[in-house]
Structure 1
Amino acid sequence: MREFLDRRGAGAATPDGSPSRCGLKAVAFVCMGIMWVLVDLYTKSLFADVKVGQLVAGPFAGIFDIRLVHNRGAAWGMLADSTFALGVFSAVMCGAAFVYFLFTVKRASWLETIGLALIVGGGVGNAIDRFIQGYVVDFIEATFIDFPVFNVADIGVTCGIVLFMLGVLMSGAHIEDSAAEKAE
């Protein structure tokens, strides 16, 4: 892994000996992903002695409740009882996102880096649930709209996608601006 990052420029140092931006992004990616998995697993562990369906707390400002749900499918009950297949899909997508990051670390923006780390961290958190327990522990229930019960891993995936897409759009706009300046 270290050799791969060195070849990609992710582990290289600048002439003054300080870590390169690519190296910092790689460290941030790994740390953010691991941190998100740990926070997700910790929050889920708080419900070990709670009965499924039990209202634990809430409502909070009329926005959400804390209610334990064991999700054996995807959002809105889609793909019910497809836990293993969804776990495999999640693991494959997380692996693909990680490999994509390794190949794009030099040109990836910080938004793209953090976004991908949150996506991978959230995906790994839910995959761990699927493979170990046979379901995903969900506990945040929106009360003001009809929305699936979700967890910290889902927040990571959703926010990660938004940050990644913003990073892609912003870097695309930067490239277009640079090209327009060169053309003048």
Structure 2
Amino acid sequence: MTVAGVILAGGLATRMGGGDKGMKVVAGRRLIDHVIGRLAPQVEAMAINANGVASRWAEFGLPVLADSLPEYPGPLAGVLAGMDWAAENGFSAVISVAADTPFFPHDLVRGLQASAGPSGLCLAASPDETGRIQRQPTFGLWPVALRHDLRAALLDGLRKVVIWTERHNAGQAVFAGEADPFFNVNTPEDLQQAEDIARLLT
């Protein structure tokens, strides 16, 4: 399986006051720098899913993929953009990661591949503070062969990731660590918490 990575940065960041959350700084580096550094060794190519003016991401030298559907329909639209780009470039699957999640596992791709369901789909998951396993729907393995089915579902109004993945019997890969590996930065308060996690992990 040839795998490309897509960094999901297409949200509106309303709880952060707007703008690109990936440009916020944690532990002296922008969130997206952390994300690129973790993802690059795990995939054969990368792209950024983002809407608006693409040139603001030019310094990273990566393809910028806008949602192909209007009105910001959510992370599945970013996944679809990544799947279409990957198919055009000869990749068989896409790994999706969120641009505001700087601590995801260094073995994310290997774990997702090992736990993929019969369709090749897999979502990441992690235990919450009570030990309950929670799915992480912005972190997944997405075979490009399913892109037309996903497009049809989105055009039909589907927005929830897990509803679509359950239709295709997606697998689940559980990751755990000293801190939540999928902690994401949504608010200014989360930025401070991310600084605390970064100190814990160094």
What is the TM-score of this pair, normalised by structure 1? 0.27
Q: Which has the larger radius of gyration?
A: 1
More helix by proportion, 1 or 2?
1
What is the TM-score of this pair, normalised by structure 2? 0.25
